[in-house]
Amino acid sequence: MNDTIRAQEVRVISDDGTMLGVHPLAEALKLAEDKGLDLIEIAPNVKPPTCKIMDYGKWKYENKKKAAEARKKQTIISIKEVQLRPRTEEHDLNTKLKNATKFLLNGDKVKVNLRFSGREMAHQELGFELLQEVTKKLDNIAIVEAEPKKEGRQLFVLLAPDPKKIKVYNEKQETAAASAEAAE
């Protein structure tokens, strides 16, 4: 900005957006000073650097607003975790699957963790089968992002929500609710 610009010549853009051409730095600073504005380097890596005549405070404020707006539009995807054991019973498994479905419908990724303890390590194929069953049951709304992987005494699979499948799932839920309502 202003006196901190190091280039000898700069390409100058007016405050109204018109190109003023390439000028020596002293002349460009004089142009900015005559208008009561600042000379701000907006593209330092080009030859010659591009500078714009504008109000620095206003420019800083607008950049701050743009950054805040970008943060608002940003979607944050969190990873929810569902813990299982190789001997998890059917009812408990259905409860865990219901929670995983809720997480996926909310747009979160789901990490299904299967923990082995003691003698369960001898029958890891049962754990793989259980994870395959879980992914098959959640296949209508999710895609497998990371195949079943073993880390130490645990096995895990990472599931991500699939927007297309979720849309179809929601439509089926709505038609089922409408037909149930019509039956009453």
**Reported pTM:** 0.58
- Predicted confidence at residue 111, as pLDDT, reads 94
Domain borders along the chain are: 2-56, 79-183
From first to last of the 184 residues of the chain, give the pLDDT tens digit.
Answer: 787 888 888 899 988 888 988 989 889 888 888 888 888 888 888 888 898 998 888 888 988 999 998 888 877 778 999 999 988 899 999 999 999 999 999 889 999 999 988 888 888 888 889 999 999 999 999 999 888 888 888 999 999 998 898 888 888 888 888 888 888 7
DSSP state of 176: H
Whole-angstrom CA distances from 81 to 52, 85, 103 are 51, 13, 9
Fold agreement (2-56, 79-183): no
Q: How much is the pLDDT for 8? A: 86
Q: Assign domain 79-183 one CATH number from 1.10.1200.10, 3.30.70.920, 3.30.110.10, 3.50.50.60.
A: 3.30.110.10
Alpha-carbon span 19 to 160, nearest angstrom: 49
- Indicate the CATH number for domain 2-56: 3.10.20.80
In three-state secondary structure terms, 34 is: helix
Q: Which pLDDT value is given to residue 109?
A: 93
Collapsed DSSP state (helix, strand, coil) of residue 80:
strand
